[in-house]
Amino acid sequence: MSSASQDNAVGDAGGTEAKRMADEKTAKDNETCEKYVKNGLNRNVTVQFLYERLLQMGCAPPKNMIRCLDCKDSQRAGGFGVVEEIDMSATAASTTTDKQKSDQYSKCAQTKQEIDTLLAKERDGDAKLRLLPQIYLCQQHLRNETHAHESMVHELIHAVDMCRTKMDPINNCIHLACTEIRAENLSGECHWLREVQNGRMLTDFLGHGAKCVKRRAQLSVKANPNCAEKAEEYVEAAFERCYKDTFPFDRHPNLR
CB of 79 to Zn ion, least distance (A): 7
CB of 92 to Zn ion, least distance (A): 29
Q: What are phi and psi of 238, to 5 degrees?
A: -90, -15
Instruction: Provide long-range contacts, Cβ within 8 A and 24+ apart, for 140-147.
Output: 140/25, 140/26, 140/29, 140/70, 140/71, 141/71, 141/75, 141/76, 141/77, 142/32, 142/33, 142/36, 142/77, 145/36, 145/39, 145/40, 146/194, 147/77
Residue nearer to Zn ion on the CB measure, 122 or 180? 180
| Residue numbers at the binding site for Zn ion (CB under 5 A) | 180, 183, 220
Residue nearer to Zn ion on the CB measure, 37 or 213? 213
CB 228 within 8 A of CB 222: yes
CB of 158 to Zn ion, least distance (A): 6
Residue nearer to Zn ion on the CB measure, 196 or 219? 219
Residue nearer to Zn ion on the CB measure, 84 or 180? 180
| Chain CA centroid to CA 85, Å | 18
Q: Is 194 left (phi over 0), alpha (psi -120 to 50) or beta?
A: alpha
CB of 216 to Zn ion, least distance (A): 9
Q: Is 148 left (phi over 0), alpha (psi -120 to 50) or beta?
A: alpha
Which residues have a catalytic role annotated? 155
